Amino acid sequence: MHTVVVGTSGVTASDVLAVARDGARIELSGEAVAALAAAREIVDALAAKPEPVYGVSTGFGALATRHISPELRAQLQRNIVRSHAAGLGPRVEREVVRALMFLRLKTVCSGHTGVRPEVAQTMADVLNAGITPVVHEYGSLGCSGDLAPLSHCALTLMGEGDAEGRDGVVRSAGELLAEHGIAPVELREKEGLALLNGTDGMLGMLIMALADLDTLYKSADVTAALSMEALLGTDKVLAPELHAIRPHPGQGAAAANMLAVLKGSGLTGHHQDDAPRVQDAYSVRCAPQVAGAGRDTMAHARLVAERELASAVDNPVVLPDGRVESNGNFHGAPVAYVLDFLAIAAADLASIAERRTDRLLDKNRSHGLPPFLADDAGVDSGLMIAQYTQAALVSELKRLAVPASADSIPSSAMQEDHVSMGWSAARKLRTAVDNLARVLAVELYAATRAIELREGLVPAPASQAAIDAVRAAGVQGPGPDRFLAPDLAAADAFVRAGRLVEAVETVTGPLR
């Protein structure tokens, strides 16, 4: 099994994906253990002094003015975890919780939090045992960290609350720890606070969304190319010299992908005389511009994620010169903004895909295709309601594009008076990504059927590879009406798993 070694300088996006989705094992580097021990010495020294230090010998948030005596500090750390584990709503997905815990461990190992090495090792042991704390949908404002989600994770480290075992069964966390020989942690000064105070949930969901969107944007280039073929459009608009004079990198990549898919097509570029068109519709002609803008948005989001992966987000932090200082680095604004940007881009990509699908089904705009791609229009309805479903998904995507980060509700008696709502931005982006895959699946279903209805015309080799692969996956081609939901579900699974891109790349080579 792949092993991820956590040091003091952060981790990579691929490390996060390996732990969250593939169950990779975690080890702490010797450098990380030494840094943890050194920072802990500083915290212990401060704890022994009579002067109050936030997070070490005081209360938290609006209660930070109270100095806590030494005999109550262990109770203080337990209490912050118990009281902050106040989430409600549905359970959060296992991969999100694993990413959340792993990214908190990454920051702990930076040596800036003052957490003891044994606490960090327990975090790694819990992840390696496949124990997943029960975390709920609601409870984070994306400021002062993803507080409730991280608190539910810290509760598991203490042997309290509920968690899911490797078998998927929810049980007592204490029982699961005992089963794997893991001793519950006894939190000391600052440790409870350090386990709660980070942007780890929203960052983990950003990293996973970027991985999924990378596949979906390539898939969207393929479905756009297939629709262009089915509509007998012209691929001249994809010429590199046209995109070179508006040099957005994403636009050039999308156009190059579409051109690669269409190479050798017998449907594009020379059928204009049969149904005269000066230009193709925007949804066909401007596909690279829309997909490209989304790609460039992803590039910015990756930059933010990389910076966040290299960060130590906690409050207060232990600095190399021995100071323990309060700060505002836990504010989720940088991550929240790009999560919202990506939801907007996903909605627009879905919207343009739906417009191409509708064009394929409309006999007045499809340039010779049967109404709704039906076998016997009137007797058969064809894909009429598949487009309804697609339109419903696009409408939902537009609602999900409303930015969460534009909102703020003050909390903690106005001490935390401006928050990022980054967790909410991440949660709605996950739904947006799922719905985008479904929208592209419907376009794929319609475009492949439409190409097959163009009798006597030969599609591009890459297009044919896509058609062959989707048919082999159980998605049926043209014919009389049938129960459509299973076909659409199979197309969705095909797109989501990256198999559409894989099929095309057997002909084109790697897409950009």
Residues annotated as catalytic are 54
- The strand ranges marked E within 241-358 are 317-318, 324-325
- Phi/psi class of residue 281: alpha, beta or left (left: φ > 0; alpha: ψ in -120 to 50)? beta
Question: How far apart (Å, rounded) are the C-alpha atoms in residues 335 and 313?
Answer: 12
- Which residues lie below 8 Å from residue 366, measured CB to CB, with a gap of 6+? 230, 231, 359, 360, 450
Question: How far apart (Å, rounded) are the C-alpha atoms in residues 283 and 354?
Answer: 9
Q: Is 274 exposed, middle or buried (0-12, 13-18, 19+ CB in 10 A)?
A: exposed
Strands 162-164, 132-133: pairing is: antiparallel
Secondary structure of residue 163 in the 3-state scheme: strand
DSSP code for 132: E
- Which residues lie below 8 Å from residue 375, measured CB to CB, with a gap of 6+? 382, 478, 479, 480, 481
Tally of CA atoms within 13 A in the half-sphere of 119 that contains its CB: 30
How far is Cα of residue 441 from the mean position of the Cα atoms in its chain? 19
> In the structure encoding, which two tokens stand for residue 480, read together?
């009389």
Question: How far apart (Å, rounded) are the C-alpha atoms in residues 60 and 144?
Answer: 10
- Which residues lie below 8 Å from residue 204, measured CB to CB, with a gap of 6+? 16, 20, 96, 99, 100, 102, 103
- The strand ranges marked E within 363-431 are none
CB contact at 8 A, 107 and 113: yes
Question: How far apart (Å, rounded) are the C-alpha atoms in residues 62 and 290?
Answer: 46
Q: Is 447 exposed, middle or buried (0-12, 13-18, 19+ CB in 10 A)?
A: buried
Angle at CA 107, nearest 5°, toward 212 and 413?
A: 95
Residue 203: closest CA among 336, 9, 298, 341 = 336
